């Protein structure tokens, strides 16, 4: 079993690799943007080359088809005629007449077969399997994406998977793919580590915005600490979520800086999803804008996000302590709308439950 220290280390590197992968992807997109016209011209040339190859292959297949059919159709009547002559002891003239009849019939059959098969062969060569989009359709779509400045979508659909090769950035693409593979590998490891943990199976799995990686981080960083913390304020301080949690020269930190960064990621995840955490964020943001019109947008954003994370950590603290039969204090009350106060309880984070905030 991987230790919690190792899991924390892997989580930190997971996000570092993810960040590097995104940066690499953006570099690829920038290259495509800067070389749009050149790439479009390359795609058009690729299209012309494709159809020239198709025409050549179709002609070659047509000729080979003629040869094969002619040999097959001519030999069979000859053998059949010879057999009939031996068995029925026909005279030479009758045999000769019969062979000529077979040749005439075979010639007509060959001609009809050639026309039908060649037509079918040419159609399949040019258009391929009808169930798959034609090659030319892909190229038109690729050009359309570039002309409409949808560079990221173009890279995702045609460059990353190798449908369109860009030799000048092949090493960058190789690096991107390796980062992506490593990221997926770490994801599987982190998911497997916490998959059966009771805090995840009973609570975290049902909180929208909290996936396997964040769940593993919460368990690895806070699992033991929560059991020791009699008050949720102790956990907030440890996470660096209190107002005084800042670096000061010459002073020892009273919080875990890596855990503070991890909590920042929790907040960002809630903001990205349409979930209870996002609803809280929007309410806090609007409320703070009214109360502090002099604050910058970034200040308001950070403040609202931190409040959401604090309330979520409070619910995690309450759930995990109750599951271990430890005492808890009342959930932290927050002001939602006007002067009314609502307690944010763990069940509010679970999707499908009736929320005090409303729709």
Q: What is the DSSP letter of 89?
A: T
Judge if 135 and 217 occupy the same domain. Answer: no
pLDDT band per the 50, 70, 90 thresholds, residue 71: low
Which pLDDT does position 187 carry in this prediction?
98
For 340, the domain range is: 195-349
From 129, 156, 186, give the residue that closes a domain.
Answer: 186
Query: Are both 209 and 144 inside the same structural domain?
Result: no
Per-residue pLDDT, averaged over 9-24, amounts to 97
Q: Are residues 305 and 243 part of one domain?
A: yes
pLDDT digits (tens, 9 = 90+) for 119-168: 444 334 443 444 445 667 888 899 999 999 999 999 999 999 988 999 99
Closest listed residue to residue 146, CA positions, set 284, 39, 14, 67: 39
Contact present, 304 and 288 (Cβ < 8 Å): yes
CA distance 301 to 308: 11
Residue 60 in domain: yes
C-alpha 310/C-alpha 273 separation (Å) is 18
Residue 177 lies in a domain: yes
Tokens of 309: 């994370």
Residue with tokens 């349409």: 274
How confident is residue 39, by pLDDT bands cut at 50, 70 and 90? very high
**Cβ contact 20:175 at 8 Å:** no
Phi-psi region at 162: left, alpha or beta (left = phi > 0; alpha = psi -120 to 50): left
Domain edge (last residue) among 129, 151, 186: 186
By the 8 A CB rule, do 183 and 24 touch?
A: no
18-37: b or e for each residue (b if 16 or more CB lie within 10 Å)?
A: beebeebbeebbebbeebbe
């Amino acid at each position: 079993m991987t230790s919690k220290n190792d899991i924390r280390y892997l989580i930190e590197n997971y996000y570092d690799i993810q960040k590097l992968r995104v940066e690499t992807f953006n570099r690829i997109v920038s290259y495509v943007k800067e070389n749009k016209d050149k790439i479009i011209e390359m795609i058009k040339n690729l299209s012309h080359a494709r159809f020239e190859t198709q025409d050549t292959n179709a002609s070659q297949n047509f000729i080979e088809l003629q040869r094969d059919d002619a040999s097959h159709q001519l030999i069979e009547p000859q053998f059949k005629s010879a057999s009939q002559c031996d068995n029925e002891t026909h005279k030479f003239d009758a045999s000769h007449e019969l062979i000529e009849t077979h040749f005439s019939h075979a010639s007509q059959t060959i001609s009809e077969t050639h026309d039908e098969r060649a037509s079918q062969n040419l159609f399949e060569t040019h258009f391929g399997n009808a169930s798959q989009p034609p090659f030319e359709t892909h190229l038109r779509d690729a050009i359309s994406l570039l002309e409409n400045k949808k560079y990221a979508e173009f890279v995702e659909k045609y460059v990353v998977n190798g449908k369109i090769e860009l030799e000048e950035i092949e090493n960058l693409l190789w690096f991107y793919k390796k980062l992506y593979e490593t990221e997926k590998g770490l994801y599987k490891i982190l998911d497997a580590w916490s998959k059966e943990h009771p805090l995840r199976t009973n609570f975290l799995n049902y909180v929208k915005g909290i996936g396997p990686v964040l769940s593993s981080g919460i368990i690895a960083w806070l699992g033991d600490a929560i059991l020791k913390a009699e008050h949720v304020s102790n956990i907030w301080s440890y996470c660096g979520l209190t107002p005084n949690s800042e670096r000061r020269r010459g002073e020892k930190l009273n919080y875990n800086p890596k855990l503070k960064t991890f909590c920042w990621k929790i907040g960002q995840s809630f903001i990205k999803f349409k979930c209870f955490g996002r609803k809280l964020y929007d309410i806090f943001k609007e409320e703070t804008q009214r109360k502090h019109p002099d604050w910058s947008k970034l200040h308001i954003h950070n403040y609202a996000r931190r409040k959401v994370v604090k309330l979520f950590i409070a619910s995690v603290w309450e759930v995990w302590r109750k599951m271990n039969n430890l005492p808890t204090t009342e959930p932290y009350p927050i002001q939602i709308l006007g002067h009314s106060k609502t307690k944010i309880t763990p069940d509010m984070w679970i999707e499908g439950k009736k929320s005090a905030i409303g729709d």
